[in-house]
Chain A
């Protein structure tokens, strides 16, 4: 059907086209993988950085939240950080502290926070929704008198 020189010409062209196609497809696959991996890591870094800042600001706002507490029959206004200190001195105030804390964080981070106040109480909202709680960021703030508050978010 074809003479030998024409056949050689066609085989050469086909080989070149196949090689070119393979190279182009390989480059496109590599590009796609790079875009996916770099894009994902960038968004994860961004999310983590944003969450870290959010955690500190949330803790700061939480500690300054005003609360009314019944002290020997007298309603007294104080900040959450004072209530933590009070609960450390007098365990009778731990339930009030725990309820106040959950009221605040359940509204802002429902089901995705864990809070721990050293030696006073720990509450993990994530344990209600997940069997394994994995928190992305965790920030600890020290207060005078060997008290610390740790907030973890996911």
Chain B
């Protein structure tokens, strides 16, 4: 009788010990599963978002480069005025009635920006709009999807593949430069002759100028700031001519 009682007590002790131990193991495993899925999302999710970040960086850098190229090219484009050639390159002749048109410069900039952005980033999934020296890149592409799973559930993540971003672009107001030159031209013209020395002394903020003299005074304005375009990092240029004799 005593023997049986003792055996029951021993078995009960063992069962309790086993239950406690298994409960501890179960809790540990469960906690590990929960903590791993909570703190550390599945690798595919991490990789997905990590790749999105990388894409965002690449797109923004492409946008910066495209702005640089588009700016240098659009302001260098001769205005729709009389054209002369210097070293085989077309230069527009500015006068009181013909000069650069800011709207056309902006239009050209916009066209160049879209083309350059597509070329650099190899993507056509952005709509680019311009407003007050800021270019906004809006993704037109739909969403990306990723299927991931944790220990307890399987889920789909829908996410916009590309994020919108905005970048400042240089001032496109070439008319301002035109106005300064036209104003100086009227004060530097005596008896119908434009004085080269008088024109040389004109300083335009943000630009340095050099002058080639002949029948026309050809001005080459170089921006103080440099830009990435062509294959280098160099100042943007505006070339135009003024007629010596009016």
Contacts and interface: CB of A to CB of B under 8 A. Distances in A.
A85 B234 CA distance: 13
B226 A76 contact: yes
A34 B28 CA distance: 8
A42 B3 CA distance: 48
A86 interface: yes
Contact of A49 (B46, B53, B62, B120): B46
A52 B50 contact: yes
Q: Is the interface of B mostly helix, strand, loop or mixed?
A: helix
A75 B139 CA distance: 35
A108 interface: no
A144 B40 contact: no
Contacts, number: 109
Contacts of B10: 13, 16-17, 20
Contact of A143 (B21, B40, B41, B58): B58
Contacts of A46: 35-36, 39-40
A141 interface: yes
Interface stretch (B12-20, B104-112, B237-245): B12-20
Contacts of B17: 20, 23-24, 27
Given A9-B2, A20-B14, A42-B36, A141 B65 contact: no
B209 interface: no
Most chain A beta-carbon neighbours within 10 Å: one of B10, B40, B41, B61 = B61
B14 A31 contact: no
A37 to B, nearest CB: 10
Bin chain B's interface residue count. 35 or more
Given A20-B13, A76-B226, A45 B36 contact: yes
Contacts of A20: 10, 13-14, 17
B14 A144 contact: no
B121 interface: yes
Contacts of B25: 30-31, 34
A144 B65 contact: yes
Contact of A24 (B6, B14, B35, B53): B14
Contacts of B61: 63, 81, 143-144
B81 interface: no
B209 to A, nearest CB: 15
B232 interface: yes
A79 to B, nearest CB: 8
Contacts of B2: 9
Nearest to B59: A144
Given A38-B32, A144-B58, 14 more contacts: A9-B3, A13-B6, A20-B10, A23-B14, A27-B17, A28-B21, A34-B29, A39-B32, A42-B39, A53-B50, A56-B50, A57-B53, A144-B65, A144-B121
9 contacts: A46-B35, A53-B46, A56-B53, A59-B57, A60-B57, A74-B224, A74-B225, A85-B228, A89-B231
Closest 5 CB pairs of A and B: A27-B21, A49-B40, A38-B32, A24-B17, A16-B10
